[in-house]
Amino acid sequence: MSETRVRFGPFGGRYVPETVIGALDELAEAFERYREDPAFLAELEGLLARFAGRPTPLYRARRLEEAWGVGPIHLKREDLCHTGAHKINNALGQVLLAQRMGKQRIIAETGAGQHGVATATAAALMGFGCTVYMGRLDMERQRLNVIRMRMLGAEVAPVTSGAGTLKDATSEAIRDWVTNVRTTHYVIGSAVGPAPYPDLVADLQSVIGREAREQFQADEAGGLPATVVACVGGGSNAIGIFRAFLADDVRLVGVEAAGEGLESGRHGAPLAQGAPGVLHGSLSYLMQDRDGQVAEPHSISAGLDYPGVGPEHSHLKESGRVEYASATDAEALQAFLDCSRAEGIIPALESAHALAWVRDAAAAAGAGTGPLLVCLSGRGDKDVEQAGAALGIDDG
């Protein structure tokens, strides 16, 4: 049996109330058992192929290369997954696991609403009742996803504590789980939280990197990308694509949200500006004040509006294996527009942060940057209202 990773260097762990320790043990056991169980894996692969639409294509973005003077650029099209983002990979795997564990109810937190929609979808598919916790502010800025979740039969529970964003929704989901732990499985949406979640989510998302690596080698005569780029909020799409390249001589870049600028303090960049601390059950880089109170993050993208990050990323930062950069709201918005107009692909604002790095940092380095593999983690349908307003193209 594969051992679940509890710690990544000094990071990770299980900093949770005693009430849920038994449930974490149970989940770790189920994960270890089913990750190598042929029947389970066959069922999951079947769902990923016939329900979620995997494998997602690897697409060469030639007009962006031309516009930005950099390339080749290969986009891993997670935006083409059913429900619009990579989140479905994790949701299907975890809800299937919950079914095997005999749980009766599913809960989740959501920021942008993509994980909430993915979980509500998986719950509908497998016949579970589902409650999704979502911050008040996020419910406003991601209204369409709120409606989608309700259409799928999920209850969307508004969270008013704090700033009403992903951090607060996650805390409230954990409180629900502490209360209903015997019957309920908590589908955490990113590679964060207490062990075994970071390893479980990374494992379920590693399909992104496995596919992308094979597809890249097929397209580029067996070669490897020079650089792999992904946005990092909690960091599940990034760890999902990075894991396939950790052992290779490939530059790995995670792009955090610089919000209104790192110096403004209004950002979502714990790896750049935070310090190790404990939030939501694991030790990792965290935006916090000197007393240890967690800071309110800011990003134009609800999915990156989180003060923490998955523990494996903290470890990869300290080991130096992955570089962590950042892109501001304005830079992401410009890349969002560039990609839409050059390629006919409206990316999620989250994914636009990875594209912004390609345009600015890779373009500055010029020729020799080599082939880039970018994880286009989701599509921007959910962002039309907000981006439309920010770009001044909404008549409403």
Partner 1 sequence: MAEGAQRLEAAFAAARGAAFIPYVMGGYPDAAASAERAIQVAAFADVVELGVPFSDPLADGPTIQAAGQAALDAGTTPETVIEIAAEVARVGPPVVLMTYVNIVLAAGPRAFCERAARAGVSGLIIPDLPIDEGDEIRMQATRSGLAIVPLAAPTTTDARLAQIGRAGAGFLYCVSVTGVTGGSVEVGEELRGFLERARRHVSLPLAVGFGVRTPADAADIAAVADGVVIASQLIRLADDAGDPTAARTAVDEYCAAVVERIRATAGAATPGS
The residue assigned the tokens 């049996």 is: 1
Q: Choosing from 76, 78, 103, 109, which is the catalytic residue?
A: 109
Draw the binding track, 15-34, toward partner 1 (x: CB under 8 A; -: no contact): xxxxxxxxx-----------
273 near partner 1, judged by CB under 8 A: no
280 near partner 1, judged by CB under 8 A: yes
Contact residues for 246 (Cβ-Cβ < 8 A; gap 6+): 252, 321
181 near partner 1, judged by CB under 8 A: yes
Q: Which of 290, 344, 366, 367 binds partner 1 (CB under 8 A)?
A: 290
Picking from 231, 345, 355, 198, the residue whose alpha carbon sits closest to that of residue 299 is 231
Dist CA 381 CA 46 (whole Å): 26
145 near partner 1, judged by CB under 8 A: no
- 56-61 long-range contacts (CB < 8 A, ≥24 apart) are 56/80, 56/81, 56/208, 56/211, 57/215, 58/211, 58/212, 58/215, 58/216, 58/219, 58/373, 59/345, 60/219, 61/339, 61/342, 61/343, 61/345
Q: Which stretch binds partner 1 (CB under 8 A): 111-119, 171-179, 241-249, 385-393?
A: 171-179
Q: Is 109 a catalytic residue?
A: yes
Contact residues for 264 (Cβ-Cβ < 8 A; gap 6+): none
126 token code pair: 């497998």
Residue number, 80 or 295, with CB nearest to partner 1:
295
Q: Is 87 a catalytic residue?
A: yes
Neighbouring C-alpha atoms within 13 Å toward the C-beta of 259: 23
Q: Which stretch binds partner 1 (CB under 8 A): 94-102, 126-134, 159-167, 226-234?
A: 159-167
- In angstroms, what is the minimal distance from the CB of 360 to partner 1? 33
- In angstroms, what is the minimal distance from the CB of 303 to partner 1? 19
Number of chain residues interacting with partner 1 (CB under 8 A): 36
Residue number, 283 or 349, with CB nearest to partner 1:
283
297 near partner 1, judged by CB under 8 A: no
First to last CA, the chain: 56
Q: Choosing from 76, 87, 103, 317, which is the catalytic residue?
A: 87
Residues lying near partner 1 in the complex (CB under 8 A) are found at 13-23, 161-162, 167, 171, 174-175, 178-182, 276-281, 283, 286, 288, 290-294
Q: Which active-site residues does the annotation give?
A: 87, 109, 377
